[in-house]
Structure 1
């Protein structure tokens, strides 16, 4: 526990991608004896998993779409949110405000700048998000999940800190567990998910792709797949027709248990997904979501693919034949899959929540603590005298 208890405000959009690292930081700061508050939207205030100790403040935050006719109302919402945030800061007196992307973070961080409060943004993806791009020049520090982040201007590199992407404690607890035994005769357990809403392309392609594997491998398959509710019956029929045992569901509460048992993951390339795969060390075949903003999922796969921990297939190339080809290459020998698992593990940043908390604590702390810094390709330790 820190010798001095301080107040911090976290601001994030109402999606799991923004809130998962925010909640991880909240837990770490609370463990260190600090008081934490959340600024978000109505979705974020009600999202499952929000810590009980974390009060949520819902602020208006306009969305700036492609239609300029809607911008005036969006600007008005941001200004109103900024005024509300300033009133919160007057009573809560935060030592720093931390933004995790999403439009609700915009008024919160603009208010912090107006009030002279230090601010940090955390970018979960390998492409700097729209709100974070707007704020990058106005904040005190930028925390990243990847060593290389697109859309991040070189002039901001001196204040970039590589910390990683925090993951859930139940997943992080698996990091020191060995890769499940995989032999020439044993089962090959495949975990397939498409994010919180599933992915129809996975439901359509994966069963047929698995059916095209070499017979010696196909006969040992055991599949767990998350699907949309409306796709369950069709996917179940596909697996039954191929004679492949599969457990299907729209949501698995014990996903960390499924991940622990998996020999291979097939799914999307969201930031939280890759953070969990690298924390645990699981080889993967990733299909980036083609409509993701700025194609950020394609950027997210670069590090793990380069290391040899995963293979990436763009959706327009994602066919049953191509999937079978990639799986056969990864699992043709037990050691090949195990080596890929180790390569994924090496990409993990298990101390992300602690490193991010160290960075945040350095604002208002005395003496200033060492924090991890990354500039360009190198990572170096640095000390900054921050007000």
Structure 2
């Protein structure tokens, strides 16, 4: 296929970074191959201006179907408006195929694409199908996965499933490098991130947990804590009073560099967070969301990665200062535990996931021409 005849591809993604960042990675890979690309998302997704820079995107109305009768009726109306708006844009651009990345905002574009007879490829980032992807699976022409097995996909034709990995941003790919050394006198870098929610529980538990560590460990610690809250200054002061050098910010623009430098990461267990960790090859303490629609997904991710030797699974109900301090002491005082976990993480990483997914897009496109 000549460069000038490359098709226009639409991507549909929910409004969280966990959905939008993989879509961005695929978009840039497809654009590098000469395709025109548009991302359909909702207002939260549109706030990731850096991720969307240089990529055409459409902001659609969207709403979750959860709630009572009135909420469901309002959501159904929003989805209908989203379908009509997405359908108009797909027709205007002469889109040839749509890739759905999950999240309820991806539902309307997928329905719009199928109403126009376009092939639909779903990408599942987690170890279990998201609610949106589970609903759309019967309409899909193909399924790309991040893990070898995905709960909920058993009934789908195995010949139409391809494991691509989860595409990560260029900033993460650029940060790949060897695991930092663990010299007995060198600083120990701990990165604490709560995903798009910037988990408040980490702000409550991390400072007292670190204060329980031996003085020699505390003196070596360099902590980067992602935290949003009015008490951020107080948390920073707590850490410094314990003799710990810390940076407390609501968001890190240099996440790739901080992941590269980290000896250990304390984090939620979202699929995109996991993909970033595995791509760079860093061990982690996973604290899955304790409630909400993503709870089961994150729990399974954490269990899978902990079983693979990537780190520790610590349910939030068990996240106490004493429990966290025990894990951190075990990790930092063992000469082998963290390097081994880093190797396990790197072995699971798929730095070529965006290219693999773009290949799947082009194969599906060719089969429908």
Q: Which range, TM-score by smaller chain?
A: over 0.9
The separation in 1 between residues aligned to 2:294 and 2:46, in whole angstroms, is: 27
TM-score between both structures, scaled by the size of structure 1 = 0.89
The separation in 1 between residues aligned to 2:29 and 2:233, in whole angstroms, is: 42
The separation in 1 between residues aligned to 2:223 and 2:46, in whole angstroms, is: 35
Tell me the CA shift for residue 32 of structure 1: 0.1
**Matched residue, 1:281:** 281
Pair 1:222–1:42, CA change in 2 (3 A): closer
Residue 293 (1) aligns with residue 264 (2):
no
Tell me the CA shift for residue 356 of structure 1: 0.7
The separation in 1 between residues aligned to 2:63 and 2:278, in whole angstroms, is: 35
- 2:189 and 2:221 in contact (8 A); partners too: yes
Pair 1:135–1:262, CA change in 2 (3 A): same
Tell me the CA shift for residue 318 of structure 1: 0.6
**Matched residue, 1:244:** 244
Equivalent residue of 1:219, what SS?
A: helix
**Matched residue, 1:218:** 218
Q: Which runs of 5+ in 2 are unaligned?
A: none
> Could you list the per-position Cα deviations for residues 66-117 of structure 1 after superposition, in whole angstroms to 9, with x for gaps in the alignment?
2123333332332332233333232222221111112222121112212211
**Matched residue, 1:152:** 153
Pair 1:185–1:60, CA change in 2 (3 A): closer
**Matched residue, 2:12:** 11
Pair 1:246–1:354, CA change in 2 (3 A): same
The separation in 2 between residues aligned to 1:163 and 1:292, in whole angstroms, is: 27
Aligned residues: 367
Equivalent residue of 2:11, what SS?
A: strand
Pair 1:239–1:364, CA change in 2 (3 A): closer
User: What is the correspondence of 1:198-237 to structure 2 with a 5 Å cutoff?
Assistant: 198-237=198-237
Residue 323 (1) aligns with residue 331 (2):
no
Equivalent residue of 1:60, what SS?
A: coil
Tell me the CA shift for residue 244 of structure 1: 1.8
> Could you list the per-position Cα deviations for residues 137-178 of structure 1 after superposition, in whole angstroms to 9, with x for gaps in the alignment?
111011122223223343444422211111111211232x21
User: What is the correspondence of 1:121-132 to structure 2 with a 5 Å cutoff?
Assistant: 121-132=122-133
Structure 1 window deviating more from structure 2 (214-223 vs 335-344): it is 214-223
- 1:15 and 1:44 in contact (8 A); partners too: yes
Q: Which runs of 5+ in 1 are unaligned?
A: 366-384
Tell me the CA shift for residue 386 of structure 1: 4.7
- 1:184 and 1:334 in contact (8 A); partners too: no
- 1:264 and 1:284 in contact (8 A); partners too: yes
Tell me the CA shift for residue 215 of structure 1: 4.2
Greater fraction helix: 2
**Matched residue, 2:264:** 264
Pair 1:82–1:318, CA change in 2 (3 A): same
TM-score between both structures, scaled by the size of structure 2 = 0.93
User: What is the correspondence of 1:73-92 to structure 2 with a 5 Å cutoff?
Assistant: 73-92=74-93
User: What is the correspondence of 1:109-124 to structure 2 with a 5 Å cutoff?
Assistant: 109-124=110-125
> Could you list the per-position Cα deviations for residues 116-148 of structure 1 after superposition, in whole angstroms to 9, with x for gaps in the alignment?
110111122222111111101111011122223
- 2:174 and 2:256 in contact (8 A); partners too: no
- 1:267 and 1:287 in contact (8 A); partners too: yes
Equivalent residue of 1:137, what SS?
A: helix
- 2:29 and 2:354 in contact (8 A); partners too: yes
Pair 1:114–1:126, CA change in 2 (3 A): same
- 1:184 and 1:333 in contact (8 A); partners too: no
